[in-house]
């Protein structure tokens, strides 16, 4: 009998069954520390089992074989249902569940019909591309993460990693039921060594992906999607494509292995009649009944949220009008104060007053006769009045909406409705592209930028508070400083520029000092130092700036440094008195202080370092 299970095939099967579960529903409460401890515990148990494992052909082996078959029936059915539900939620909204299940089942049946050689070789060929796509997705996540998000998992923060690590053992539950495959291994194959090595790689891989997930969202953040890995993919088109390119092959691989293992004990026949396979193909490939044309879709470009009456919200939906994009005309419905301006015909506006976003979107669907699509949403505007009461639950609800990407920008306005209805793109035909340019840091020097993902991460992490831009007169000027999820302090354009310099994100800020004009930009991130040897403790912030003299004389540089020192210190003191840590000064609080205790006690000093350029 020919043996098809070699080193690469066995290793690929073990590795894949150890990592695929992160695609399915797992809470964000899964921390990297618990995955590390759980992985070490699993490897210890596995090493003991492999040490005493000996293949046998007696009654015990027959009982084990039957148990394996029953396990893989239920496990395959669970993955088939869960995978189809996940695909429906994240990408294929119009497709019914049975259609997606048949699609996955068809992909698994074809290699399973060709026997074990096809199953093993398919794993050997497919697992490497899946791992590559996930690795690229992880690299993209690392570049967007914050290292301090990793540390709220420690026991001092009310979390027991040892208790949680027991729950992570379910990630590796399939591996003990794979020993049945060893009867197909090639002669002289070091099977125990391969199983243990592949398991170690699986533990390391799960640790890496959970590590990246915690980099972006600290422990305790509510789930933002039906899959933890999809949370990483919601930040753009490329990450979402990488996720789908790894998810669909991974589901098909697992289902193929399940069918093969079940067929080995003849619970299911080894060969499915060709007619059934043809019937499934006919059901899947005949027509596009679940497709949706562009004309049947309403693409939302912005959402405004104001405080409504009786504990409700007033939602303003800005919807792209592709038939009118690029055109503008005078409208009799434009308010008198705007009568001299051209109305933006590229978008339409509809309002709804509801208790939350879900009935508002349902009402929008009924009024338009089209399906609202959030994949092109660029900006979410909160009114200042609403932001003072807290926005955490609102941003979490928005983040869980299908197709809404976490890179959507957030900002504040006196009235979200008035801001959206008053948008008039200048020298730009596309309103979405106008928003994209507006929220780039180099084009909005007097306002910070903050995405939906950043806001959730900052609110969930007690060591840094979000800072959102304020929209005014068709541009971003000013900032709103939050304490937790509530707006506590507003600043004008100059103070927003001070914050950009303090945070190391300033670009071409024009500052007048004496008779001279300087253009200031950040040279490097600020240096933050702590001195706990004195009482109260001192925190020193050293922004590193480069200044270009536009007019006047360099003799005014000393006056520039003095004025910036005074104004920056004043802004930081105002924010800290309100309990707001807009720079994350308490992120690296030295012992014995914690992020929640050092800022109220500390004295904050600002000493800007300015490098003059001629």
Q: Are 222 and 43 in contact (CB under 8 A)?
A: no
Residues in the chain: 614
H or E segment to which residue 182 belongs:
none
pLDDT of residue 25: 63
What SS3 class is residue 382? strand
Instruction: State the average pLDDT over residues 466-493.
Output: 89
pLDDT of residue 150: 73
In this structure, how many other beta carbons lie within 10 angstroms of the beta carbon of residue 526?
A: 20
Most confident by average pLDDT, 156-170, 220-234, 269-283, 499-513 = 499-513
Cα 202 to Cα 14: distance, rounded to the nearest angstrom: 8
What are the tokens at 44?
């210890």
Q: Which residues pair with 304 in a beta bridge?
A: 316, 381
Lowest average pLDDT, out of 280-294, 381-395, 564-578, 583-597, goes to: 280-294
pLDDT of residue 250: 93
Candidates 139, 142, 147, 144; CA nearest to 242 is 139
Which pTM does this prediction carry?
Answer: 0.79
Torsion angle, alpha carbons of 155, 159, 160, 163, to 10: -170
* Model confidence band, residue 94 (pLDDT cutoffs 50, 70, 90): confident
Q: Tell me: the pLDDT tens digits for 226-255?
A: 787 888 888 778 888 899 999 999 999 999
Is residue 207 classed exposed, middle or buried when 0-12, 13-18 and 19+ CB atoms within 10 A define those classes? Answer: middle
Q: Residue 280 above 70 pLDDT?
A: no
Cα 384 to Cα 218: distance, rounded to the nearest angstrom: 27
* Model confidence band, residue 295 (pLDDT cutoffs 50, 70, 90): low
Q: Residue 108 above 90 pLDDT?
A: no
Cα 584 to Cα 587: distance, rounded to the nearest angstrom: 5
pLDDT of residue 55: 66
* Model confidence band, residue 306 (pLDDT cutoffs 50, 70, 90): very high
Q: Residue 614 above 50 pLDDT?
A: yes
Looking up tokens 């003849």 gives 266
Looking up tokens 């000493």 gives 607
pLDDT of residue 333: 45
Cα 270 to Cα 261: distance, rounded to the nearest angstrom: 10
Cα 20 to Cα 204: distance, rounded to the nearest angstrom: 13
Please tell me which residue, 593 or 608, carries the higher pLDDT value: 608
Cα 94 to Cα 402: distance, rounded to the nearest angstrom: 12
H or E segment to which residue 300 belongs:
strand 297-307
- As a whole number, the mean pLDDT across the chain is 81
Cβ contacts of residue 206 below 8 Å, gap of 6+?
Answer: 18, 19, 22, 35, 39, 171
Phi-psi region of 473 (alpha: psi -120 to 50; beta: other; left: phi over 0): left
Please tell me which residue, 481 or 166, carries the higher pLDDT value: 481
Cβ contacts of residue 592 below 8 Å, gap of 6+?
Answer: none
Instruction: State the average pLDDT over residues 98-127.
Output: 86
* Model confidence band, residue 284 (pLDDT cutoffs 50, 70, 90): low
Torsion angle, alpha carbons of 562, 567, 568, 574, to 10: 150
pLDDT of residue 127: 92
Q: Residue 28 above 50 pLDDT?
A: no
Cα 41 to Cα 249: distance, rounded to the nearest angstrom: 29
Lowest average pLDDT, out of 18-22, 49-53, 409-413, 606-610, goes to: 49-53
What SS3 class is residue 469? strand
Q: Residue 39 above 80 pLDDT?
A: yes
Q: Tell me: the pLDDT tens digits for 381-440?
A: 999 999 999 999 899 899 888 888 888 999 999 999 998 888 887 777 788 888 888 888
Q: β-strand 371-373 against 297-307: which pairing, if any?
A: parallel
Most confident by average pLDDT, 151-165, 324-338, 351-365 = 351-365
Give the chain's radius of gyration (CA, Å): 29
Angle at 495 between CA 494 and CA 497, to 5 degrees: 65
């Amino acid at each position: 009998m020919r043996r098809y299970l070699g080193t690469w095939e066995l290793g690929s099967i073990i590795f894949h069954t150890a990592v695929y579960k992160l695609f399915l529903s797992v809470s964000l409460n899964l921390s990297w520390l618990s995955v590390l401890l759980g992985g070490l515990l699993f490897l210890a148990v596995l090493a003991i089992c492999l040490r005493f494992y000996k293949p046998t052909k007696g009654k015990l082996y027959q009982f084990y074989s039957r148990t394996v078959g029953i396990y893989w029936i239920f496990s395959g059915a669970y993955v088939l249902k869960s995978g189809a539900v996940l695909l429906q939620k994240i990408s294929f909204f119009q497709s019914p569940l049975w259609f997606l299940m048949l699609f996955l089942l068809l992909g698994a049946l074809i290699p399973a019909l060709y026997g074990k050689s096809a199953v093993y070789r398919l794993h050997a060929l497919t697992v490497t591309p899946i791992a590559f796509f996930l690795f690229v997705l992880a690299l993209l996540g690392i570049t967007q993460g914050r290292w301090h998000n990793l540390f709220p998992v420690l026991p001092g923060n009310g979390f027991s990693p040892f208790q949680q690590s027991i729950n992570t053992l379910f990630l590796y539950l399939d591996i003990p039921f794979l020993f049945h495959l060893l009867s197909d291994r090639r002669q002289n194959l070091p099977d125990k060594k391969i199983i243990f090595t592949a398991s170690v790689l699986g533990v390391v891989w799960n640790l890496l992906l959970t590590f990246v997930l915690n980099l972006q969202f600290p422990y305790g953040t509510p789930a933002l999607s039906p899959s933890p890995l999809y949370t990483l993919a919601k930040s753009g088109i490329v990450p979402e494509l990488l996720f789908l390119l790894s998810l669909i092959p991974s589901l098909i691989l697992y289902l193929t292995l399940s069918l093969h293992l079940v067929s080995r004990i003849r619970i299911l026949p080894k060969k499915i009649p060709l007619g059934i396979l043809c019937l499934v193909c006919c059901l899947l490939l005949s027509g596009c009944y679940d497709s949706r044309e562009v004309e049947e879709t309403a693409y939302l470009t912005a959402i405004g949220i104001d405080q409504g009456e009786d504990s409700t919200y007033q939602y303003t939906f800005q919807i792209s009008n592709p038939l009118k994009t690029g055109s503008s005309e005078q409208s009799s419905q434009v308010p008198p104060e705007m009568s001299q301006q051209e109305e933006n015909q590229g978008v339409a506006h509809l309002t709804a007053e509801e208790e939350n976003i879900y009935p508002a979107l349902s009402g929008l669907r009924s009024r338009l006769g089209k399906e609202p699509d959030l994949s092109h949403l660029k900006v979410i505007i909160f009114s200042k009045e609403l932001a003072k009461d807290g926005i955490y639950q609102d941003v979490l609800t928005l983040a869980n909406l299908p197709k809404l990407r976490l890179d959507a920008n957030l900002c504040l306005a006196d009235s979200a409705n008035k801001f959206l209805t008053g948008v008039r793109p200048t020298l730009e035909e596309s309103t979405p592209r106008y928003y994209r340019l507006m929220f780039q840091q180099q084009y909005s020097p007097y306002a910070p930028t903050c995405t939906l993902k950043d806001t959730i991460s900052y609110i969930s992490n007690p060591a840094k508070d979000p800072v959102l831009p304020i929209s005014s007169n068709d541009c971003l000027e000013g900032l709103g400083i939050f304490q937790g999820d509530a707006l506590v302090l507003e600043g004008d354009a100059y103070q927003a520029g001070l914050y950009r310099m303090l945070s190391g994100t300033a670009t071409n800020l024009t500052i007048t000092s004496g008779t001279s004009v300087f253009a200031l930009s950040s040279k490097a991130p600020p240096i933050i130092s702590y001195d706990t040897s004195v009482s109260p403790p001192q925190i020193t912030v050293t922004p590193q700036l480069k200044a270009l003299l536009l007019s006047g004389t360099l003799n005014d540089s000393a006056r520039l440094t003095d004025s910036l020192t005074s104004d920056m210190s004043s802004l930081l003191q105002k924010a800290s008195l309100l309990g707001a840590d807009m720079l994350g000064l308490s992120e690296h609080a030295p012992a014995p202080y914690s992020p929640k205790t050092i800022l109220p006690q500390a004295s904050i000093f600002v000493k800007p370092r300015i490098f003059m350029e001629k």
